[in-house]
Amino acid sequence: MTQVVSGSGCVTGGSGSVKGEAVAEPADRWLRCFVPAPQARTRVVCFPHAGGTASYFLPMGRMAAPELEIVGVQYPGRHDRRNERCVEDLLELADRIATALIVSDDGKPVALFGHSLGSVLAYEVGRRLEADGRTRPLRLFASGRRAPSENQGQKIHTLGEAAFLDHLKQLGGIDPRILREPELLRMALPAVRADYTAIESYQHPEGPVLSCPIDVLIGRSDPEVSAEGARLWGPHTTGDFAVHDFPGGHFYLAEQASGVVDLVRRNC
């Protein structure tokens, strides 16, 4: 579900380079660990969907500990970053998040998990980490999203409010409580729309693909990505590749978190 957020405008920009040169920011500006697992063998950095927050992965964090430590990425313009401007450029986000992961590297192995928009963002962060060489990801788990090279140039972010809300309702991506509260809706929509702008304006940049394995996870009734579309992630790695399907739609993760955590645990 879309989290209750408050965004107050947007900023564009970003180099789009595979090896970002973003100015280092405090890692805790970006990273949230709600269930610390200091003895975990692997840290799994999780990237939310459009409009989502780091807390979306709290259930996974509870299930995964103590073997895995789940860390959620908090995008600007929502929750405890609600007074920051949203970012409409996915490559800028990738530059800044990759830098935060590099400067906070403590030697623990890192895997990347993204859902929907977060899958493409995690992929781009992974490219930057591999190019840098200091914090190379063990694996990418890409959930609920077609391959980065298959971005279709959709313009959902340009829809009027009513049509935009209809789209979110069809995906199951907005909490019904928000729809009943105009003030909550007013706070939530800018961040969601900014995230849609970021993913819909994204074009896969030239450069090396990942060398780490990629696991693609989909809901069997997801209207956004089919099994055939999921297989198009294959050319985005020189490593192993697999597709896994689960009962449910675009937000299958809410009901299938246990099975997803088991999959991540087996591969990390």
pLDDT in tens, 229-265: 999 999 999 999 999 999 999 999 999 999 999 999 9
Q: Among 115-119, 187-191, 203-207, 216-220, where is mean pLDDT lowest? A: 187-191
Q: d(Cα 77, Cα 81) in Å, to the nearest integer?
A: 5
pLDDT at residue 71 above 80?
yes
Q: Among 9-23, 73-87, 169-183, where is mean pLDDT lowest? A: 9-23
Q: Tokens at residue 161, please?
A: 């409010």
Answer whether the bond into residue 148 is a cis peptide, omega within 30°.
no
pLDDT of amino acid 1: 33
- The pTM for the full model equals 0.89
Contact 20, 95 (CB under 8 A): yes
pLDDT at residue 6 above 60?
no
Residue closest to 218 by CA, chosen among 173, 184, 189, 250: 250
pLDDT tens readout for residues 138-182: 999 999 999 999 976 678 887 878 788 888 888 776 777 777 787
Residue 85 DSSP one-character state:
P
pLDDT of amino acid 266: 98
pLDDT at residue 35 above 90?
yes
Task: Identify which has the larger pLDDT, 187 or 117.
Answer: 117
> 186 vs 7, 180, 183, 213, CA distance in Å?
9, 11, 5, 40
Q: Tokens at residue 180, please?
A: 């009943």
Q: Which of 6, 116, 119, 143 is catalytic?
A: 116
Mean pLDDT of the chain: 89
Q: Is 116 a catalytic site residue?
A: yes
Task: Identify which has the larger pLDDT, 5 or 170.
Answer: 170
pLDDT of amino acid 172: 75
Domains of the chain and any CATH numbers: 10-267 (3.40.50.1820)
Q: d(Cα 204, Cα 192) in Å, to the nearest integer?
A: 21
Q: ∠ CA 243-249-254 to the nearest 5 degrees?
A: 90
Q: Tokens at residue 208, please?
A: 């090396």
Q: Which long-range CB contacts under 8 A does 202-205 form with residues at least 24 apart? A: 202/90, 202/91, 202/120, 202/148, 202/151, 203/151, 204/148, 204/149, 204/151, 205/16, 205/17, 205/18, 205/91
DSSP string, 76-138: TTSGGGTTSPEE--HHHHHHHHHHHHHHT--S--EEEEEETHHHHHHHHHHHHHHHH-SS--S
pLDDT at residue 81 above 90?
yes
pLDDT tier at 10 (50, 70, 90 boundaries)? very low
Q: Tokens at residue 218, please?
A: 């989909």
pLDDT tens readout for residues 216-226: 999 999 999 99
- Which phi and psi angles does 247 have, rounded to 5°? -60, 140
Contact 236, 149 (CB under 8 A): yes
Q: Among 62-66, 169-173, 185-189, 194-198, where is mean pLDDT lowest? A: 169-173
> What is the identity of the amino acid at 183?
E
Look-up of token digits 């995964």: 64
